[in-house]
A and B are shown apart, each in its own frame.
Chain A
Amino acid sequence: MNLLKKFILELQEISFLVWRALIGLRKKPRYLPEIIRQMDLIGVGSLAIIILTGFFTGGVLILQTYPTLAYYGGQSEAGRAVATSLIRELGPVLTALMVAGRVGSAISAELGSMVVSQQIDAMRALGTSPTRKLVTPRIIALITMLPLLTVAADVFGIIGGGIVAKQIFGLDNSLYLTSVRNGVTIQDLIGGVIKPIFFALIIGVIACHKGLKTEGGTVGVGKSTTSAVVLASIYVIIADFFVSKLLTVIFGTSTL
């Protein structure tokens, strides 16, 4: 009972945070330089790990599926297998998880240490709303950068798959690319960009909320960072299921 009450209270606080962050957009000052700085930190800063993640995920997909496909004589469809699973699922989810680990933890730790060193109080005392100055720019930056990072993961995953297919299984590159092109539908592409928007909102809101709720000194910063990453990751995975379901309802069931 107590746990449920706590959960609902927290949900309420998070909703308020989202609401105030959105209102923060409407009013001036909008802290545009801060948004751009965060985009750079989040987007450009995460690009390398996202490319690596995508590349090797694409590679391992081919490594694992090619023999099975070959067994059924479908090796020419290897590109389609990699591309659809990357664009629909693995690209958005893995990118979101990497970003939750890298960016979510950083946001929560930064805001948390600002809380314990009273910088948040100081900000409010000096007449600034921390939501508008700190939360809104981070969420905006995440919402714009995560879809782009996801696209990068998808593209490098397909490249990785192609290289593995060629080097290890001797599959012709043009055959691979044709099958990628045939396999991917416009719905896949749209869905693959819509998902990261939801995930970005989840990561940003949870990380900011946990950071701003930090209590109990430096130990508290560690705790809120951990719970921000854990919760954001879990909620990303849960949300992935429901968003996927929602997309199939909207676009109709797609066939592989």
Chain B
Amino acid sequence: MSPEELEIQSEPLNPDAEEISLETPTDDLHRVVPAIEFREVELFFDDRIILDKISFTVRRGETKVVLGGSGGGKSTIIKLILGLLKPDSGQIFIDGEDITEFDEIDLMRIRRKIGMVFQEGALFDSLSVYENVAYRLHEEGVPEEEVEHEVKRMLRFVNLEDAIDKMPVELSGGMRRRVGIARALIGNPSIILFDEPTAGLDPPTARTICELAIKLRDLEDASSIFVTHEMNNLEYLSSEYAVIDEHGDVQFEQEGEKLCLINTEVLMLRNGEIIFSGKEDELKCAPDPYIMKFIRGK
């Protein structure tokens, strides 16, 4: 990514930013092509079926909340998007490109567009917070002053400017997760994948993580997949939106008064099959006993 591009994208509130960094000629066409698309994706481990002909799309600017118990195949879907695993059949499209047959070199180009937040943060133990967040830029050989500027901007975004010189072992679980988010966001990826980013965190910290995801969706126009098995995460993501008030501060408003959220959908997985796909309120009315049990916990 060129320095100019970084500069332009680093103005989160500039509505023109998206347009300037477009790769396709017209904005309309660009938005029609889904950010992520799965077509009949099938995956086996040994002889066990892990994903059974999964199809779904994530539109640009949309957040797809993926629900499901453990072992349902949620992390597997995320690994497939990154090309860390290959499907046994079916196709996966990222920004309209079929990545199914891509080799590591082409995948590296795709991965540059994707930010990944891992379950436990997956920070590099041997690197400081600064080096962790800077990792991608260092690998790309970006000049150090620019790296520093970006790292500080990202750490400000996740509210962790003080931790810049710490090592990962010195951080709490929530801080690790936030450093993981900062690391994923550097280089301004257009697609962000969250794998259970709130698992094992206390409710207020989990809430901050959800707020970050909402901010990315509403203020940065990112497409994302948010894997979780906690219902209140879904509640936040599908009922609140982020706006900038007159002082330039971010505010979270409830759905209903001014706006109805159309850019958040739910996907529910069970044993490698999609058992629900739609809006959150539809999920609450779904007759499936597994879904009811999942929502109410009994």
A117 part of interface (Cβ distance < 8 Å):
yes
A122: which B residues are within 8 A, CB to CB? Answer: 116, 118, 122-124, 183
Contacting A at CB under 8 A, from B107-129, are: 108, 111-112, 114, 116, 118-120, 122-125
When C-beta atoms are compared, the residue in chain A nearest to B139 turns out to be: A128
A121 part of interface (Cβ distance < 8 Å):
yes
Q: What's the minimum C-beta distance from A221 to chain B, rounded to whole angstroms?
A: 13
How far is A121 from B112 in the complex, measured between Cα atoms in Å?
Answer: 14
Q: Which of B108, B118, B123 contacts A127 (CB 8 A)?
A: B108
Establish whether residues B112 and A127, one from each chain, have CB atoms under 8 Å apart when the complex forms: yes
Q: What's the minimum C-beta distance from A22 to chain B, rounded to whole angstroms?
A: 15
A127: which B residues are within 8 A, CB to CB? Answer: 108, 111-112, 136, 139-140
Contacting A at CB under 8 A, from B177-203, are: 183
Establish whether residues B141 and A29, one from each chain, have CB atoms under 8 Å apart when the complex forms: yes
Establish whether residues B119 and A29, one from each chain, have CB atoms under 8 Å apart when the complex forms: no
Establish whether residues A124 and B139, one from each chain, have CB atoms under 8 Å apart when the complex forms: no
A129 part of interface (Cβ distance < 8 Å):
yes
Q: Which of A117, A119, A125 contacts B111 (CB 8 A)?
A: A125
Establish whether residues B141 and A126, one from each chain, have CB atoms under 8 Å apart when the complex forms: no
Contacting B at CB under 8 A, from A111-142, are: 117-119, 121-129
Q: Which of B111, B119, B120 contacts A126 (CB 8 A)?
A: B111
Q: Taking A29-B139, A119-B125 as contacts, is the C-beta distance between A124 and B111 under 8 angstroms?
A: yes
Q: Name B's A-contacting residues (CB within 8 A).
A: 79, 82, 84, 104, 108, 111-112, 114, 116, 118-120, 122-125, 135-136, 139-141, 183
Q: What are 25 A-to-B residue pairs whose CB atoms are below 8 Å?
A: A29-B139, A29-B141, A117-B120, A117-B125, A118-B119, A118-B120, A118-B122, A121-B79, A121-B84, A121-B118, A122-B118, A122-B183, A123-B124, A124-B82, A124-B84, A124-B111, A125-B84, A126-B111, A126-B135, A126-B183, A127-B108, A127-B111, A127-B112, A127-B140, A129-B104
Q: Name A's B-contacting residues (CB within 8 A).
A: 29, 117-119, 121-129
9 closest cross-chain pairs (CB), A and B: A118-B122, A122-B122, A125-B116, A126-B136, A118-B118, A127-B108, A125-B82, A127-B111, A119-B122
